[in-house]
Amino acid sequence: MEDAKSTDIIKCTNCNASMRFSIKDHALKCPHCGHVQQIEKGNDNLVRREITNSALTEHEPWIENVIFRCNFCNADIDADKNGIMKKCPFCGNPNILRTEEIPGIKPDSLIPYTVTKESALDLFRKWIHSKIYAPGKCRRSATAENISSVYSPVWSFTARTQSRYNGVLGEDYTETHTDSKGNTYTTTHTRWYHVSGNISADYTDVFIPSGKLIPKKMAHKLEPYPMKKAVGYRQEYLADRAAEHYSRDLNTCFNEFKSYVYSDLCQRIKRKYGADHIREMNIDTNYVTKYFNYILLPNYIANFWYKEKNYNFYVNGATGEVVGRYPISAWKVMFTAAAVTAAIILIADFLWS
């Protein structure tokens, strides 16, 4: 991968003000005079580095950046070493500390923002309005607060596997019985059997989130991201933006990826035999090839309040996908449950009449 350019504070060549990355122009833009400066083209081929013992322990340091640490939400934010951060981009806390520690491995690539902050706010309004089980007042008037564009760190894994397996699968079957009064009923049983064999599988760009400020469940719901738009990491894309520092290292996330592979192979084996259950499964997997990519993903992080309770939501900065928590109206849920119950009773009466 081409070394990331050390930009320090990128100055406008026209008025010497600090430049910012413009989503609309896909370039650096001066907020003072409007001058646009194109980002120098680098190696935009998606870089995948082989996972070796040395790769798991030795990394090129990201010397262009330092970490700002928030003492309120415990966020670690990667930012330009010559930059000034006045508040935490996650929670808005003004009391953040600059550290001089090396922030670790440098990103291989990132996906630039294509969704503007204004568009993200509009997408939120449409999203909350679509939640039919949210209280009506919330759907009509919820207002987003503290919206920030922050790159989220993930380790992306690509691998080719060959595995040997043996285990016990189960297939359900039913039996029909007749009681002493002539009424018939069925019971379900499971027939267990042993299986063994070989299976091959390929995995491409499986994301394992390595940050902590977007919950893992929410992070996966934000997927997919357009990997075709990924570019080689360049410092210019972080101008006037921040990136969350990874809290889980490559080795930890690679072990999580291997757990993902095991679970996926179990499901593939289950489908191969048309089974309904897995009682036990031993899988010995050989990673023929294994690669990783440290990539920064564009996201918006924000929140809204309803009846003095805070709800977080997140927007994919490349696709506009919105996920998050929202209040549920109890009476709407009870009304739906009552309607479903009534419909079941009507159907049952019709079938038995």
Beta bridge partners of 173: 189
Q: With a cut of 70, say whether residue 64 has pLDDT above it.
A: no
pTM of the model: 0.81
Beta bridge partners of 183: none
Question: Which of 9-23, 108-122, 231-245 has the highest average model confidence (pLDDT)?
Answer: 108-122
Is 279 inside any structural domain?
Answer: yes
* pLDDT for residue 343: 74
Q: With a cut of 60, say whether residue 21 has pLDDT above it.
A: yes
Which of the four pLDDT bands, split at 50, 70 and 90, describes residue 100?
low
Residue whose C-alpha is closest to residue 309's, from 294, 325, 323, 321 = 325
Residue whose C-alpha is closest to residue 165's, from 268, 281, 262 = 281
Is 231 inside any structural domain?
Answer: yes
Mean of pLDDT over the chain: 85
Decide: 313 and 260 in contact? Cβ < 8 Å.
Answer: no
* Residue-range definition of the domain harbouring residue 172: 44-342
DSSP 3-state of 79: strand
Q: Which one-letter amino acid corresponds to residue 339?
A: A
Is 164 inside any structural domain?
Answer: yes
* pLDDT for residue 57: 66
Decide: 132 and 102 in contact? Cβ < 8 Å.
Answer: no
Share of the chain above pLDDT 70, in %: 86
Is 244 inside any structural domain?
Answer: yes
Which of the four pLDDT bands, split at 50, 70 and 90, describes residue 152?
very high
* Structural domains in the chain (count): 1
DSSP 3-state of 284: strand
Torsion of CA 172, 176, 179, 183, to 10 degrees: 120
Neighbour count for residue 219 (Cβ, 10 Å): 21
Is 20 inside any structural domain?
Answer: no
Is 30 inside any structural domain?
Answer: no
* pLDDT for residue 42: 61
Share of the chain above pLDDT 90, in %: 50
Is 353 inside any structural domain?
Answer: no
Is 328 or 201 the better-scoring residue by pLDDT? 201
* pLDDT for residue 4: 31
Q: Cβ contacts of residue 289 below 8 Å, gap of 6+?
A: 50, 158, 159, 160
What CA–CA distance (Å, rounded) separates 293 from 248?
Answer: 14
Residue whose C-alpha is closest to residue 158's, from 212, 217, 108 = 108
Q: With a cut of 80, say whether residue 19 has pLDDT above it.
A: yes
* pLDDT for residue 8: 42
Is 115 inside any structural domain?
Answer: yes
Decide: 348 and 340 in contact? Cβ < 8 Å.
Answer: no
Decide: 134 and 326 in contact? Cβ < 8 Å.
Answer: yes
pLDDT (tens digit, 9 = 90+) per residue, 224-265? 999 999 998 888 888 777 788 888 889 999 999 999 999 999
* pLDDT for residue 302: 92
Over range 73-88, report the average pLDDT: 70
Decide: 315 and 120 in contact? Cβ < 8 Å.
Answer: yes
Decide: 103 and 78 in contact? Cβ < 8 Å.
Answer: yes
Q: With a cut of 70, say whether residue 283 has pLDDT above it.
A: yes
Over range 210-222, report the average pLDDT: 92
Is 7 or 310 the better-scoring residue by pLDDT? 310
Q: With a cut of 50, say whether residue 96 has pLDDT above it.
A: yes
Q: With a cut of 70, say whether residue 61 has pLDDT above it.
A: no
Residue whose C-alpha is closest to residue 235's, from 40, 33, 15 = 40
